[in-house]
Amino acid sequence: MYTIFMHKIRVGVLRGGPSNEYEVSLKTGATVLKHLPQDKYNVRDILVDKKGVWHMHGVPVKPHEALNHFDVIFNALHGHYGEDGKVQHLLERHGIPFTGSGSFASAVGMNKNLSKEIYKKEKIKTPQSLLLESLQNISVEAHKVFQKFPLPVIVKPVSSGSSVGVTIVKGFPELEAAIEKAFEHSESVLIEEFIDGIEATCGVIDGYRDHEHYPLPPIEIRPHKGSFFDFAAKYEGLSDEIVPGNFTAAEKKELEQLAIRAHKALGLRHYSRSDFIIHPKRGIFILETNTLPGLTEESLVPKALESVGASLEHFLDHILQLAINEK
């Protein structure tokens, strides 16, 4: 009589990181560690601290030393380093499979200005914008904004996530401070026209449920009075998320199609989530695409999965298998 020992796939979960989304990443990573099927995977935590130092079992390690212990990496990092192509480039050089988009697509997706240029090329409607690349002559640049856009406007860092550093500016006295705030989080800043409408988001999963690109049900987001879908609204319960959203059949179909088109246009893989504004007369505008959407208990992708009867365990297993089988 023979006993067959099956080799469990060794998974390293990268979380933390040197960005302002450190806490969110810790929560996403904790979700992954908790819900990956333990009978199939040997899962271990890789903590990246706020200085970018990797740790295993509480001990600092070099990235290549840590990676030698694993067959595949689940990337649960957010923001700078984890979402902008840097850690992806490191993983690619090491030759280890990992979840999420590759280094080039990640870098493009993290840059809101580059993403907008690709949206426009693909005829995906996006708000008008103005790029600021320096804090010099800020008063002159502020006047340019008021010449181009009516109030209010959105001021946001070009490369940041979770709405960190984003401000709605309703008057000229606020603009300079908002620009300075955004520059604290990015080397360049985007000023966008403000479009008043219904906020929506739609996730996309590759190779899921017999679809090349499976759209999750679009979610309607209703920030509480006086707010927009900022960091607090996302992670501190200051918004209502309706899953699935109260959209017309035509709106739902268009949101799903636009999310898939954005996913493909940016060259993303495995999964993503795009954010939209629906204006009653001007139609649907894409705001940005998240290349590594959050997977915390407050996050939108897990809520959308639940609404279609898909378990988080099955989703995470699927994403890992996509990474392992990536050619």
Strand 283-290 to 189-193 pairing: unpaired
- Rounded distance between C-alpha atoms, residue 298 and residue 28, angstroms: 10
Out of 45, 235, 245, 272, which one is annotated catalytic?
A: 235
Look up 290 and say whether it is catalytic.
yes
Catalytic residue among 21, 199, 206, 241: 21
Q: Which of 239, 219, 187, 242 is nearest to 290 (CA)?
A: 219
Annotated active-site residue in 186, 254, 294, 299: 294
Active-site position among 25, 129, 239, 290: 290
Whether 273 sits among the annotated catalytic residues: the reply is yes
288 is catalytic: yes
The yes-or-no answer on residue 162 being catalytic is yes
> Is 133 a catalytic site residue?
no
Say how far apart CA 239 and CA 103 lie, in whole Å. Answer: 32
What's the length of the chain?
Answer: 327
Q: Which of 84, 230, 254, 275 is catalytic?
A: 275
Which tokens in the block code for residue 239?
A: 């918004």
Catalytic residue among 15, 261, 269, 273: 273
Give the tokens for residue 254: 């268009």
294 given a catalytic annotation? yes
In angstroms, the first-to-last Cα distance of the chain is 38
Cα–Cα distances in Å, from 104 out to 71, 157, 269, 321? 22, 20, 11, 21
Catalytic residue among 19, 75, 160, 162, which?
162
Report helix, strand or coil for 18.
coil
Distance CA 123, CA 117 (A): 10
Active-site entry in 84, 199, 256, 288? 288
Does 65 participate in catalysis according to the annotation? Answer: no
Return the percent helix, strand and coil in the chain, to nearest 5: 35, 25, 40
**Using alpha carbons only, what angle is made at residue 112 by residues 109 and 117, rounded to the nearest 5 degrees?**
90
What are the residues whose beta carbons fall under 8 Å from the beta carbon of 225, sequence distance 6 or more?
Answer: none
Show the 3-state SS of 218-264: CEEEEECCCCCCCHHHHHCCCEEEECCCCCCHHHHHHHHHHHHHHHH
**Catalytic residue set:** 21, 162, 235, 273, 275, 288, 290, 294
